[in-house]
Structure formats: structure tokens, C-alpha cells
Structure 1
Amino acid sequence: MARKALCIGINNYPGTGMDLQGCVNDATDWAAELTARGFQVASLLDEQATKAAMMKAMGDLIGKASKGDTLVITFSGHGTYQPDTDGDEVDGLDEALCPYDLQIQGEALTDDEIHTLFLTRKSGVRIVLISDSCHSGTVTRAAKAEKDADSRPRFMPMGNWLPDKLLPKNRAGKVAATMTGPVGTSPLAAACSNALGDLLLSGCKEGPNNFSYDARIKGRFNGAFTHYALKALKSMKPGATYADWHKAITKYLPSASYPQSPQLVGSTGARKGKIFE
């Protein structure tokens, strides 16, 4: 029974004006922790993490796994929405992760595409997806992030990467300022399968005004969620479950500095599974 992981971290988003600062550190930190726990780890950082490279790396990881294997995929970077094109989203939006070449190629990695990749697994392969990104309801282009800011949301408005002709419109036919995204679930939950024992651990709730923060903590940039998730993990006793871990994380978040509520999504059985086993 093999244990393998893919850790993705993207700070640099060319052409969007929305660069981040803590995502590469996140990926490096997750990789170090998983390696110490006996995982074989691959990483994609910044320009390595194009959409094509992300899909190939996920596809190879999942496609080569065998029954009993545990796979962990971590993503730190921007989340976004894009207009749903196949009619499977009630709210008219697909959730998506933002690859390095988001603006260059004009394509995000959608929840539908991730779900399709997950379905290629062999029976008995367990997948844990850890997402330190966020999904808001904003459509219009956001101002360029302040270079020295201590924190910033990890959300990419559609206006920062999609052309106006593809953006959602209001009743007057003009680009909408906001759209109502789904509320109360977690980013990319649709990509995971309860029936197959998948788990999603994410930095915040989904929907308007819920953010995962890129943060400077003790002089170092990290995702606030990643920083505290790893801190909580170090306090876990042998045999601790994912539910135990999530409970420990919520002792740190939300906080006054980082008002985000981490989410654990999965079946009761998966939530009671031992961490990374």
C-alpha cells in the first residue's frame, strides 16, 4: 500500500495583478511534512504549475495508484469561479483552481475536470484534497494587491482573467459586479466522492465574504490555514482522526486576524479515518 502526494503552490499569476506570497512556502511545508510521514512527494511550484501540468500530474498520481493506496493533493493559490457551460451547476458557476497560466491561456482548472480525474482511480484508492484557496462572489476586476500587505484573500475575481464578453451580465446587459455563489459548503466539494471515501480539507467556507488568507506570520508568508493546520497536526496523538485534526485547527481559526472557518467534507467513515493512513 503506497502513499503518494502532489503539492502545488502558486504565488505568481502573470497578467492578473493578483500575485500572492505564501503559496510556494505552503507547498514546501506540506511536502516536508508528508515526506516525513513516508509519502513519496512530487511538487509543482509557480511556472511549473500550468493547467496542463497540473492535470497531467494529478492524472499520473491517480492513474498509477493501486487498491489500498493513499493519495494526498495539496493546492495553495487562488480560487475562482467561471460561468458554467454544461448546465450542471444550479448557481450557473463552476468552481475552479487557478493555475499559473490562468490569464495567459484563459483557462482555470474546474471542479468538473477534477471530478473526472478522480473518477479514473482504481477501486480502493483513497484521495485527500487539501485546498488553501477561496471562492467569493465577486466578478469585477480587483485592484492590484499591495506589495507589502500582511494578508490578502486567495480569491481571483473573474474580471482579472476572463474577457468582458465571457463575464456574467446583469439585467441591463452590463458586466455584473457580483454573483451569488453557493453558500454553506466547501470549495471543490463536488470533486470528491463520499461513496469512495474521499476527503476535502479546505481553508474556508464557500460563497460571498468567505476567504482563505495569504498571511505574514512571524515574518514569514504562509496561508493562514496551512500554517495552523500544520501546527495542529504536530499536536495530534498517534491514531488521531481527520475529525480530531479539524477540531484542533478550529482552535486557531477563525481568529480576529483571519476570519475564516476551515471545512472538513467527507463521509462519516472517512472523517473517522486515521490521518494520512
Structure 2
Amino acid sequence: MTKGISLHIGLNSVDPQHYEGWSGPLNACEADANDMADLAGSQGFATEKLLTKKATRKAVLDGIADAAKSLKSGDFFFLTYSGHGGQTPDLNADEPDGQDETWCLYDGQLIDDELYSAWGAFASGVRILLLSDSCHSGSVSKAVHYAAMARSGPPPVYRAMPNEVALRVYQNHKDFYNPILEKRNLAETLGGVKASVLLISGCQDNQLSLDGTFNGPCLPER
């Protein structure tokens, strides 16, 4: 019988002690995670939620690893993330734009290379669906800002760690991030992934996702 496991991550803030005083307040991300968990549960998935303070680097990686141990060919892993996204320098030369994308978890960023590496633990034939509603704080299109300014109501909140915060976080935590970013084995992991991985994201690497008053809409670059 096919088995389904889901993990739903939603952060309405991050720990300012790691993010150089920035707490990254958002409104809708926990609601997104709750709704995704309800949706998955209604389809028979065994669900787990990690909300804000519980959404640590270790908890997320452990949750993925636990799923990998439990699932076999034909089974399904559904992973959703709602929160801030960031970027760090690509030190293992696997990104054409020279930037690694990140999830801003409560106690530190999770590098996209680490996610890729985690897929390698899944058995051949496992189906992985990843839904990421977050921004990547690289270049910001003027079109996004002009479109937002044309709308009435309160100013928009984007799910992007500000560039100046991202730079301070990286500069002041190099001892933590550089060993991850420099790992060649993480850059080479994709060739060894046996499971099928499908990503649905809120936007592209150079675009932004909007926060919402309850659930989070996304405003991709036009």
C-alpha cells in the first residue's frame, strides 16, 4: 500500500540573535503550514508541522531524514515551506548566478545544497513534492515595486530577507556557513538522487513572494 508522509514548515519570525537583530516578522506563514497540513491529512498523509520557533535547521533536516528512512518505492513525501528566503555566496561553484538560495529557518539559514543532499537519502521510486513559498533576496525587479505601489491598501510585505541583513548574517557567521557552502559533495549530490523531486515555488530565484494577511499570495515578476 502506498504511504504518504508530509512535513509543513511555517515561520512568522526568526531568531534575531542569529539574524543580526532582524526578526523577519510575517503574518501568514504559520497559517500556510496549518492549511497545507490539513490538506495533506485529508488525503491520508501522516503529517508533521514545524512552526516558527520549532522550525530549526536540525528539526527540518531530521524531519526529512526520518521520512527518507520510512518511505520506499512508490511512496510519497510532501514538503512545504512558507517563510523568508535568502541568498549566500556560492562557494562550491554549482550555481550559474554565483548565489546559493536559502530558507530562513528560526536558528539559521538552510542552504539549497543541503536540501539537495537530503534527497539522496530517499529510495529509488519515492516521489517528492516540494512546495516553497518564499523569496530569494537577490536583485529586485522594479516591476514588482511599481505593481505593488499601484495597489491600494497597506504597503506589501515580501518574504525576502533584506540584502543588508543577508550580508551581515553571512559576514558575521562565516565560520558556520562556509563549511557548508564549500562542500563539493553537496554540489555533486543531484547526480546521485534516486527519488523523483518536483518543486513548486512561489517565484523564481530573482523574484519575490508576497506575505498576506492570512495565507500568502505570491506576486511574481512580470
Secondary structure in structure 2 of the residue aligned to 1:4: strand
1:1-277 map, 5 Å = 1-15=2-16, 16-102=22-108, 108-137=109-138, 149=154, 151-163=156-168, 166=171, 196-207=195-206, 210-216=207-213, 221-225=214-218, 259-260=219-220
Deviation at 1:113, TM superposition (A): 0.3
TM-score by length of 2: 0.76
The one-letter amino acid paired with 2:217 is: A
Deviation at 1:215, TM superposition (A): 1.1
Could you give the per-residue CA deviations for residues 179-233 of structure 1, whole angstroms, max 9, x where no partner exists? Answer: xxxxxxxxxxx979998432111111221xx2111012xxxx21114xxxxxxxx
Identity %: 36
Contact 2:101-2:205 within 8 A present in 1 as well:
no
Deviation at 1:158, TM superposition (A): 4.4
Contact 1:138-1:157 within 8 A present in 2 as well:
no
Contact 2:120-2:193 within 8 A present in 1 as well:
no
How many pairs does the alignment contain?
188
Cα RMSD of the aligned pairs, angstroms, is: 2.8
Contact 1:192-1:199 within 8 A present in 2 as well:
no
Secondary structure in structure 2 of the residue aligned to 1:114: helix
Could you give the per-residue CA deviations for residues 101-131 of structure 1, whole angstroms, max 9, x where no partner exists? Answer: 12xxxxx111100000001111110000000
Could you give the per-residue CA deviations for residues 22-51 of structure 1, whole angstroms, max 9, x where no partner exists? Answer: 000000000001101111101100100011
Q: Greater CA deviation, 82-91 or 123-132? A: 82-91
Secondary structure in structure 1 of the residue aligned to 2:5: strand
The one-letter amino acid paired with 1:56 is: D
Secondary structure in structure 1 of the residue aligned to 2:212: strand
Deviation at 1:159, TM superposition (A): 2.7
Contact 1:111-1:191 within 8 A present in 2 as well:
no
- Compared CA separation, residues 201 and 193, structure 1 to 2 (3 A): farther
Q: Which structure 2 segments of 5+ residues have no match? A: 17-21, 141-152, 173-188
Aligned-partner Cα distance in 2 for 1:193–1:260: 32
- Compared CA separation, residues 101 and 195, structure 1 to 2 (3 A): closer
Secondary structure in structure 1 of the residue aligned to 2:129: strand
Deviation at 1:162, TM superposition (A): 4.6
- Compared CA separation, residues 196 and 58, structure 1 to 2 (3 A): closer
- Compared CA separation, residues 260 and 3, structure 1 to 2 (3 A): same
User: After the TM superposition, which segments of 4 or more aligned residues of structure 1 sit over 4 Å from their partners?
Assistant: 190-196
Secondary structure in structure 2 of the residue aligned to 1:224: coil
Deviation at 1:96, TM superposition (A): 0.8
Q: Which structure 1 segments of 5+ residues have no match? A: 103-107, 140-147, 168-189, 226-258, 262-277
The structure, 1 or 2, with the larger RCO (C-alpha pairs under 8 Å, 6+ apart) is 2
TM-score by length of 1: 0.61
Deviation at 1:92, TM superposition (A): 1.8
